[in-house]
Copies of this chain bind each other. A is one copy, B any other.
């Protein structure tokens, strides 16, 4: 049977990079000593008050069709929170609930990109961006952050990437996998370009509640950016709710209307009991305190890992400002990222991700997710130390 070109456009995921992850999770089922640091899924459980809110909804029959855009009180809470953080003036008319930030990325792309368009994406970029952009028929134009300069924005590269076909600029801040945030100056530069060339900006801010240092800035709050910015967010990371599939898009009300039409034929709304849980996550003091405890725990884990990697001369680690990931440059070890990850798994049963999947600029890096408890993390550091000692020994022998 014949399939559409779209089915080709969504096959682009760099599969090799995930091999070790799949091996690690598979072995983990049989061998508890495997340490899986290769996935962006929090080890925490969803805060209990959030769970009980869904239970309450389920048991009281909140299992019927709901408003396609999502419930008003939930969208109002999201609007208020976004306005207070970003400075962008928004109401519930600027918010639509969707099945996760991934779904919001997908749906937004369908509303703004078409065949012939170019969409610039700042790299490193999360792997599913490729499919979301390409399935619209648009071309993804990667612009690498400057890996020689702490992964700052490469102003010249971004400016030069814009053509008369450019329709949008996509980025994630804080970034997955780097954990770095775009600065005020960088965002202003992007905003100026977007305004000058009449471009959409898609700002993925799913890690904006998991910030350790510095201040997260939403580009939507910069002057004249509200009309052209789509802000994506979710509860997956902030509240350990990855599996719930609840997120949202914030943007101009016309966009929200289009997204609502799309949701009508794509999803037909989001479960009411999930929306009740989302409301609790964003308003209940215990749920918010739990989210804050997760953040400080990630910070403590990050500090432990950074300390570990700084001890090894052949590794250089970018200290993330946010998220649950960090990048480690392994090129000085003589291994490629893929080889390093494979060896680390084979010799030490630690699963990490070669960061090649996130773009060429991180091809020398591995991504480590700190989504294991302190004990496992300590054990991981010990094994990494042992692994590096072995490598150093072999390097000396080879000289």
Binding site for B on A (CB under 8 A): 1-7, 10-11, 13, 39, 41-42, 45-46, 51, 54-55, 58-59, 61-66, 99-100, 102-103, 105-106, 110-114, 128, 131-132, 135-136, 167, 198, 200, 227-228, 240-245, 252, 254-255, 258, 261-262, 264-274
Contact yes or no, A245 B271, CB < 8 A: yes
Contacts of A10 in B (CB 8 A): 258, 261-262, 264-265
**Nearest chain B CB to A118's CB is how many angstroms away?**
14
Contact yes or no, A113 B4, CB < 8 A: yes
**Nearest chain B CB to A383's CB is how many angstroms away?**
24
Instruction: Name the one of B7, B13, B45 contacting A61, with C-beta atoms under 8 angstroms.
Output: B45
Contact yes or no, A45 B63, CB < 8 A: yes
Contact yes or no, A267 B245, CB < 8 A: yes
Contacts of A112 in B (CB 8 A): 1-4
Contact yes or no, B114 A5, CB < 8 A: yes
Contact yes or no, B271 A102, CB < 8 A: no
Contacts of A265 in B (CB 8 A): 10, 102, 105-106, 128, 131-132, 135
Work out how many copies of this chain go into the complex.
2
Contact yes or no, A114 B51, CB < 8 A: no
Instruction: Name the one of B131, B135, B243 contacting A63, with C-beta atoms under 8 angstroms.
Output: B243
**Nearest chain B CB to A89's CB is how many angstroms away?**
17
Contacts of A103 in B (CB 8 A): 266-268
Contact yes or no, A4 B131, CB < 8 A: no
Contacts of A272 in B (CB 8 A): 243
Contact yes or no, A62 B258, CB < 8 A: no
Contacts of A64 in B (CB 8 A): 41-42, 242-243
Contacts of A13 in B (CB 8 A): 261, 264
Task: Knowing A128-B264, A243-B62, A266-B103, say if A7 contacts B39 (CB, 8 Å).
Answer: no
Among A62, A105, A111, A267, the most chain B Cβ lie within 10 Å of the Cβ of A267
A-B contact pairs, 6 of them (CB 8 A): A6-B262, A10-B265, A99-B99, A131-B264, A132-B265, A245-B268
Contact yes or no, A241 B63, CB < 8 A: yes
Contact yes or no, B111 A4, CB < 8 A: yes
Contact yes or no, B270 A3, CB < 8 A: no
Contacts of A135 in B (CB 8 A): 110, 262, 265
**Nearest chain B CB to A201's CB is how many angstroms away?**
11
The complex places the Cα of A126 from the Cα of B130 at a distance, in Å, of 33
